[in-house]
């Protein structure tokens, strides 16, 4: 048994059977619940109980006064046993005695002494208690088709039966009716005109010995004299019975008709029989004669009353039952709670004793309830056993009237167990922990309490009106307060140091939070289903008041003394209170809660919490950069192109996000200010990271070669791009949308968007500027090399000596190598950002080289090389769609350069052909003019600065003369002066 249940057992109303009078004794130690039930009955205290008695003397006294009298009663029961027990296994007398010695812990000497005393006592008078309950389907012997049945019953032993048979000349129906010993023949009442009579009459039949004796029951139809007038009247109304009337007329007047009999050998009967028996005929006429329901029980009369000092059989039965159960449980140690099972020897002894002393099933169930309910308070007894006995008591309540003493005992037992059960409910956290094995026990206990309050016995025998829901709620509330006080004492700080006091409060609130969770998730289902009590609501409201007082008292000690250490200690207190406060959503009836505005008590600590998060994050970021070697991370098969510090930075900032989620500050306006501060801190950390990362590059680049420096610069660009991508997710991670919804009534739309997004944009612009600066640094070297390669193609020595492909090969090899390196070491966004200025610079370099080259011999070949180079660069930068798109490549500068190179790369014949193609195209696309057109041939002579224009022809001129023709000729000559 658990320690908590022992404490409850020792602090309740104990009930112990008194000797002989059937009353109970109460030892009241903790009357808290008793006062709620009203005034209880006062019962006498046992004089034989000695205070402060040592255990050995107490055990000896108990054995002498309690166990030995019961032992003698059972030895007497075994010695004078009658009938077979109802158990399936047969046990011998020696087996029963051996069991008694073990169950009652008697020595062989004690057993022999007690057995000798029992054998010297007077034997009882053996009796068979026969209850004739009813019959069905009997024969109808009267003219009306019915009978007037009655029963005659007796016990015939061997000698008397033999004499009767010898004196009988021929078989006769009647055995009981013709018996000479009228004293031992009993007759039931006569039931008029029925085939299904009901008697419910009990008779006690004495006999000397079971062996050779038999029980006889004969059923007869009473034949009473009827007047001639009545019989004629019956004939008139019922002609079908005329034949029966003639048969009746032949009979001798006053002779009863035989309906059937039942003969049972006593040695074949069980100690208790309750069943239907077929009525047997004496002749073959009408073999089916119906059935009769009998209850047969072997009892003792004039049983020796000195065995148990005159105590009643009921009290002895209670003691025997309790001892048998304890003996059984002691042998089943560690096998779980007792579920009502007993060994066959115990069952046999209990059945024999109850039968011989004529204890009714009601009294047996009452004794079991009293014994089991007491055992439940000291041993591990399954609750379903008690529930079963309560059901039996309720069933028997109106079927049998209890004696006054047993009524009082039943009332006291029900009242006491209800009180004890409520004590268990008070300690339900310790006795029934939230496990799959314990919660069903709590559920069964609560059902027992419900059943107790529902029973008519409890309602009749307890004058106080008990509202079980209120009592359970009060027990839960009381137990919660006690549990809180115990936990508070366990977490009491050893000193008056404020951080230690706060830590103790945090630990206490943490246990309360866990208890509330268990009540909501586990215990609430049990209480609601069993007694319709919302234990979560009761517990939550109780804790709400207790915690509010505790928190206010603690924070009052800190008034004016806030500093970082105290604020850090208070954070766990705030989180636990917040978690408890969120559970209010599950309350059935909320009402006014004292912890509703608990956050207001922590305003003073709020800046310290934010500062602590910022400082720790900043320190972690600095440490991450100090150990960063600016090498790309390699994880699995997919390479990570940024360094460890960029990953660490994101991880370091996560606690700031988590802090914002943890705070969940209820006040909307204050929550907006907190978001401004959190966003500002994140942006500061990111910007500061850029500065210390640049310093780290300088440190690592001092003793590194050019290639390593370029590699580190690529990693830095990737780190910054990783942070920029990280900042774009900031509004989502901080849930700006949710904050906007909460603050829309207190913060204007313009104020919201002018504050938070501007902070983020400023940090992103700094990152973008740093990225561009780093990319410019990477691009400067590439631009210089590209210009060198392009200009090398314009030297006169190299023009005739190499083909166009060979001339462009060095530049393309260089670009392929460098762009491949950049693509492998830069993230896609930065690689694309590098390609665009590099392409634009390449176009500009080629244009400068092309326009600055003198247009003399070899210029056409040079332009051809440049045009080929431009086309190769276009393909390289496009990279089959993986690089820059064509729209970005075909800029205005590119179109101008390509047109220039294309024009100058053509030969004279190609130029003339192109000119004529253009003219033909113009002519083909030419449409008629309103006044016609004139073809002119113009030439300019540079030596004398004269332009000569010759009119060749005219077409589609307007007709002006009557013959629709006009003569016209014109020669234009422009002088030099006019041109000037």
Task: Name the residue among 84, 289, 293, 82 with its Cα closest to residue 202.
Answer: 293
pLDDT-derived band at 634, boundaries 50, 70, 90: low
**Within a 10 A sphere around the Cβ of 4, how many other Cβ atoms?**
17
Q: CA-CA distances (angstroms) from residue 814 to 11, 394, 807, 811, 876?
A: 96, 103, 13, 5, 11
Tell me, rounded to whole angstroms, the distance of Cα 860 from its chain centroid: 86
Task: Name the residue among 393, 324, 363 with its Cα closest to residue 70.
Answer: 324
Q: What is the pLDDT of residue 5?
A: 55
Q: What is the distance between the alpha carbons of residues 84 and 355, in angstroms, rounded to a whole number?
A: 11
Q: What is the distance between the alpha carbons of residues 11 and 414, in angstroms, rounded to a whole number?
A: 17
pLDDT-derived band at 527, boundaries 50, 70, 90: very high
pLDDT(590) > 60: yes
Q: Quick one: DSSP state of residue 219?
A: E
Q: What is the distance between the alpha carbons of residues 863 and 867, in angstroms, rounded to a whole number?
A: 6
Task: Name the residue among 696, 567, 577 with its Cα closest to residue 626.
Answer: 696
Residue predicted with more confidence, 231 or 337: 337
Q: Which of 152-166, 511-525, 593-607 has the lowest mean pLDDT?
A: 152-166
**pLDDT per position as a tens digit, 645-685:** 888 888 888 888 888 888 889 899 999 999 999 999 999 99
Write down how long the chain is: 980
Cβ–Cβ < 8 Å for 778, 837: no
Q: What is the pLDDT of residue 854?
A: 67
Q: What is the pLDDT of residue 27?
A: 34
Q: Which of 89-103, 792-806, 949-963 has the lowest mean pLDDT?
A: 792-806
Residue predicted with more confidence, 274 or 465: 274
Q: What is the pLDDT of residue 637?
A: 58
Task: Name the residue among 179, 183, 178, 175 with its Cα closest to residue 205.
Answer: 183
As separate numbers, helices (DSSP H) first and strands (DSSP E) second, the chain gives 36, 15
**pLDDT per position as a tens digit, 422-462:** 999 999 999 999 999 889 889 988 999 999 998 888 888 88
Phi-psi domain of 630 (left: phi exceeds 0; alpha: psi -120 through 50; beta: other): left
Q: What is the pLDDT of residue 401?
A: 81
**pLDDT per position as a tens digit, 897-925:** 888 888 887 877 877 887 787 778 777 77
Q: What is the pLDDT of residue 810?
A: 77
pLDDT(966) > 80: no
Q: What is the pLDDT of residue 334?
A: 65
**pLDDT per position as a tens digit, 707-722:** 677 777 777 777 888 8
pLDDT(348) > 50: yes
**Mean of the pLDDT values across residues 788-796?**
68
Q: What is the pLDDT of residue 529?
A: 93
Residue predicted with more confidence, 731 or 180: 731
pLDDT(178) > 50: yes
The values of phi and psi at residue 199, to 5°, are -110, -55
Q: pLDDT > 70: what percent of the chain?
A: 81
Q: What is the distance between the alpha carbons of residues 612 and 656, in angstroms, rounded to a whole number?
A: 10
**pLDDT per position as a tens digit, 367-400:** 999 888 888 888 778 878 888 888 888 888 887 7
Task: Name the residue among 287, 278, 303, 322 with its Cα closest to residue 135.
Answer: 278
Cβ–Cβ < 8 Å for 808, 793: yes
Q: CA-CA distances (angstroms) from residue 279 to 145, 174, 286?
A: 19, 14, 11
**Mean of the pLDDT values across residues 130-135?**
95
Cβ–Cβ < 8 Å for 324, 349: yes
**Strongest mean pLDDT among 226-230, 489-493, 798-802:** 489-493
pLDDT(165) > 50: no
Query: What secondary structure, in 3-state letters, does 21-71 show?
Result: CCCEEEECCCCHHHHHHCCCCCCCCCCCCCCCCCHHHHHHHHHHHHHHHHH
Cβ–Cβ < 8 Å for 314, 406: yes
Q: What is the pLDDT of residue 899?
A: 84
Task: Name the residue among 827, 846, 835 with its Cα closest to residue 888.
Answer: 835
3-state secondary structure of 774: helix
**Mean of the pLDDT values across residues 57-65?**
86
Q: Taking all residues of the chain, what is their mean pLDDT, rounded to a whole number?
A: 80
Q: What is the pLDDT of residue 332?
A: 76
Cβ–Cβ < 8 Å for 675, 746: no
pLDDT(731) > 60: yes
Q: What residues pair up with 16 in beta bridges, in sequence order?
A: 25
pLDDT(976) > 80: no
CB under 8 Å to 888, separation ≥6 — which residues?
836, 839
| Residue keyed to tokens 């007993």 | 342
pLDDT(703) > 80: no
3-state secondary structure of 179: coil
**Within a 10 A sphere around the Cβ of 291, how many other Cβ atoms?**
18
Q: What is the distance between the alpha carbons of residues 63 and 59, in angstroms, rounded to a whole number?
A: 6
Q: What residues pair up with 128 in beta bridges, in sequence order?
A: 205, 298
**pLDDT per position as a tens digit, 95-115:** 999 999 999 999 999 999 999
Q: Which of 494-508, 533-547, 726-740, 865-879 has the lowest mean pLDDT?
A: 865-879
Q: What is the pLDDT of residue 98?
A: 93
Q: What is the pLDDT of residue 170?
A: 43
Q: What is the distance between the alpha carbons of residues 645 and 632, in angstroms, rounded to a whole number?
A: 10
Q: pLDDT > 90: what percent of the chain?
A: 28
**Judging by DSSP bridges, how do beta strands 257-265 and 214-221 pair with one another?**
antiparallel
Q: What is the distance between the alpha carbons of residues 746 and 63, in angstroms, rounded to a whole number?
A: 83
**Mean of the pLDDT values across residues 232-246?**
50
Q: What is the pLDDT of residue 91?
A: 87
**pLDDT per position as a tens digit, 920-943:** 877 777 666 777 778 888 888 888
Q: What is the pLDDT of residue 848?
A: 80
């Amino acid at each position: 048994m658990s320690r908590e249940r022992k404490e409850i057992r020792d602090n309740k109303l104990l009930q112990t059977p008194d000797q002989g009078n059937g009353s109970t004794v109460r030892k009241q130690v903790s009357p808290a619940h008793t006062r709620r039930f009203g005034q209880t009955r006062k019962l006498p205290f046992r004089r034989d109980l000695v205070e402060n008695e040592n255990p050995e003397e107490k055990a000896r006294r108990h054995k002498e006064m309690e166990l030995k009298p019961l032992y003698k009663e059972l030895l007497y029961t075994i010695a004078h046993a009658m009938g077979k027990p109802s158990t399936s296994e047969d046990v011998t007398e020696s087996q029963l005695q051996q069991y008694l010695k073990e169950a009652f812990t008697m020595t062989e000497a004690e057993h022999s002494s007690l057995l000798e005393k029992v054998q010297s006592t007077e034997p009882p008078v053996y009796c068979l208690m026969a209850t004739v309950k009813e019959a069905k389907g009997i024969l109808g012997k009267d003219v009306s088709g019915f009978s007037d049945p009655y029963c005659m019953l007796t016990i015939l032993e061997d000698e008397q039966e033999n004499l009767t048979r010898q004196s009988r000349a021929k078989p006769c129906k009647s055995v009981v009716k013709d018996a000479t010993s009228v004293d031992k023949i009993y007759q039931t009442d006569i039931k008029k005109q029925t085939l299904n009579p009901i008697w419910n009459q009990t008779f006690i039949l004495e006999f000397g010995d079971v062996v050779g004796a038999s029980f006889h029951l004969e059923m007869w139809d009473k034949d009473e004299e009827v007047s001639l007038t009545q019989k004629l009247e019956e004939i008139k109304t019922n002609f079908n019975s005329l034949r029966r009337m003639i048969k009746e007329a032949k009979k001798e007047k006053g002779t009863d008709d035989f309906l059937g009999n039942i003969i049972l050998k006593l040695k074949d009967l069980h100690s208790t029989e309750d069943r239907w028996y077929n009525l047997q005929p004496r002749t073959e006429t009408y073999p089916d004669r119906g059935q009769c329901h009998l209850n047969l029980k072997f009892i003792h009369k004039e049983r020796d009353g000195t065995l148990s000092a005159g105590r009643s059989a009921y009290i002895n039965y209670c003691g025997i039952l309790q001892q048998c159960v304890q003996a059984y449980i002691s042998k089943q140690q560690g096998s779980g709670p007792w579920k009502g099972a007993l060994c066959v020897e115990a069952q046999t002894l209990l059945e024999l004793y109850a039968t011989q002393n004529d204890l009714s099933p009601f009294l047996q169930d009452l004794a079991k309830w009293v014994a089991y309910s007491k055992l439940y308070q000291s041993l591990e007894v399954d609750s379903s056993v008690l529930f079963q006995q309560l059901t039996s008591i309720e069933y028997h309540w109106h079927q049998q009237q209890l004696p006054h003493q047993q009524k009082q005992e039943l009332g006291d037992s029900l009242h006491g167990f209800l009180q004890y059960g409520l004590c268990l409910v008070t300690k339900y956290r310790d006795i029934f922990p939230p496990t799959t094995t314990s919660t069903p026990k709590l559920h069964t206990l609560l059902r027992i309490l419900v059943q107790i309050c529902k029973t008519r016995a409890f309602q009749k025998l307890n004058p106080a009106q008990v509202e079980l829901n209120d009592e359970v709620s009060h027990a839960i509330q009381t137990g919660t307060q006690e549990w809180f006080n115990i936990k508070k004492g366990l977490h009491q700080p050893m000193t008056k140091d404020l951080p230690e006091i706060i830590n103790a409060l945090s630990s206490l609130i943490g246990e309360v939070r866990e208890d509330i969770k268990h009540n909501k998730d586990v215990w609430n289902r049990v209480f609601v289903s069993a007694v319709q009590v919302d234990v979560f609501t009761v517990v939550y409201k109780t804790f709400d008041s207790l915690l509010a007082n505790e928190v206010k008292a603690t924070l009052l000690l800190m008034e004016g003394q806030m500093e970082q250490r105290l604020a850090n200690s208070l954070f766990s207190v705030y989180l636990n209170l917040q978690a408890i406060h969120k559970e209010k959503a599950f309350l059935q009836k909320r009402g006014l809660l004292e912890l509703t505005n608990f956050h207001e008590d922590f305003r003073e600590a709020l800046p310290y919490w934010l500062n602590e998060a910022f400082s720790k994050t900043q320190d972690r970021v600095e440490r991450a950069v100090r150990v960063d070697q600016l090498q790309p991370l390699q994880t699995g098969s997919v390479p990570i192109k940024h360094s460890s510090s960029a990953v660490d930075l994101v991880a370091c900032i996560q606690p700031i996000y988590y802090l914002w989620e943890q705070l969940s500050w209820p006040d909307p306006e204050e929550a907006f200010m907190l978001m401004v501060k959190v966003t500002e801190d994140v942006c500061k950390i990111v910007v500061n990271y850029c500065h210390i990362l640049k310093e780290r590059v300088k440190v690592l680049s001092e003793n590194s070669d050019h290639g390593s420096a370029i590699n580190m610069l690529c990693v830095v660009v990737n780190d910054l791009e990783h942070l920029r991508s990280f900042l774009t997710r900031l509004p989502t991670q901080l849930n700006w949308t949710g904050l906007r919804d909460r603050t829309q009534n207190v913060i204007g739309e313009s104020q919201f968007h002018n504050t938070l997004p501007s902070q983020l944009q400023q940090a992103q612009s700094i990152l973008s500027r740093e990225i561009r600066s780093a990319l410019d640094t990477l691009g400067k070297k590439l631009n210089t090399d590209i210009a060198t390669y392009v200009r090398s193609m314009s030297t006169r020595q190299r023009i005739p000596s190499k083909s166009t492909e060979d001339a462009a090969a060095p530049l393309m090899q260089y670009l392929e190598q460098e762009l491949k390196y950049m693509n492998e070491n830069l993230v896609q966004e930065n690689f694309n950002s590098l390609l665009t200025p590099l392409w634009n610079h390449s176009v500009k370099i080629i244009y400068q080289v092309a326009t600055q080259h003198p247009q003399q011999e070899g210029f056409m070949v040079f332009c051809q090389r440049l045009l080929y180079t431009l086309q190769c660069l276009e393909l390289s930068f496009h990279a089959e769609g993986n690089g820059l798109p064509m729209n970005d490549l075909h800029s205005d500068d590119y179109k101008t350069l390509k047109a220039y190179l294309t024009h100058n790369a053509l030969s004279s014949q190609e130029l003339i052909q192109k000119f004529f193609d253009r003219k033909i195209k113009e002519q083909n696309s030419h449409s008629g003019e309103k006044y016609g057109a004139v073809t002119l041939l113009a030439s300019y002579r540079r030596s004398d600065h004269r332009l000569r224009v010759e009119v060749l022809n005219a077409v589609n001129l307007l007709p002006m003369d009557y013959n629709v023709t006009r003569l016209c000729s014109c020669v234009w000559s422009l002088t030099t002066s006019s041109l000037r």
